[in-house]
Amino acid sequence: MLAVTSHRLRLGQDMPFHGLQELLLGSATGKIEHRIQGVELEEVVEGANGPTTPEADAIFEDRGILVVPDILANAGGVTVSYFEWVQGLMSFFWEEEEVNKRLKDVMVKSFSTVWDVLQRRKLSMRMAAMVLAIDRVARASKLRGVFP
């Protein structure tokens, strides 16, 4: 776990993450709730898979602390891996600037979409991301029908 001060990219007026703020990066699994007592936080960004326990999620929610869940915070690496796969299939390779631009576009759109669900449904960011993911799988299954 690392507490840092970070200047964040401004994504929009009604979104968090602008200006200088204290930020907690949860980057190891388990028992984060025992390490946050007395720490003043505005956000937690999960830098590993599942570093925040359900107990810690409840503490963060009670304290009004925004948690950017692992499935959103770690999506950049998976996205770039997908870009590499697509480039390999096409035998058409992008420059680093193109990869970074496309990654930024995907990540900002993903964050914004999750943020919209959070606002509309009054959910945590973790639940909003999960609701969005389940809805997308359900819609795809309905469109495709049952397949082997």
Which of 68, 85, 119 marks a domain boundary?
68
Residue 7 is predicted with a pLDDT of 33
Chain centroid offset of residue 3 CA: 18
Eight-state DSSP code of residue 64: T
Q: Which helix (H) or strand (E) holds 98?
A: helix 96-121
Residue 36 is predicted with a pLDDT of 66
- Domain count within the chain: 2
pLDDT digits (tens, 9 = 90+) for 98-114: 999 999 999 999 999 99
Same domain, 64 and 74: no
Sequential pLDDT tens for the chain (148 residues): 333 333 333 333 444 444 444 555 555 555 566 666 666 777 888 877 877 888 888 888 888 888 999 899 889 999 999 999 999 999 999 999 999 999 999 999 999 999 999 999 999 999 999 999 999 999 998 998 876 6
Residue 78 is predicted with a pLDDT of 92
Torsion of CA 20, 119, 14, 33, to 10 degrees: -10
Same domain, 7 and 45: yes
Domain limits for position 113: 69-148
Residue 129 is predicted with a pLDDT of 96
Whether residue 43 contacts residue 17, with contact meaning beta carbons closer than 8 Å, is answered with yes
Which of 35, 53, 68 marks a domain boundary?
68
Q: Which of 41, 11, 7, 15 is nearest to 26 (CA)?
A: 41
Query: Helix axis angle, 96-121 relative to 125-144, nearest 10°?
Result: 100
Residue 23 is predicted with a pLDDT of 55
Eight-state DSSP code of residue 55: H
Residue-wise DSSP of 107-143: HHHHHHHHHHHHHHHT--HHHHHHHHHHHHHHHHHHH
Same domain, 87 and 47: no
Eight-state DSSP code of residue 91: T
- Give CA–CA dist 102/86, Å, rounded: 13
Model pTM? 0.74
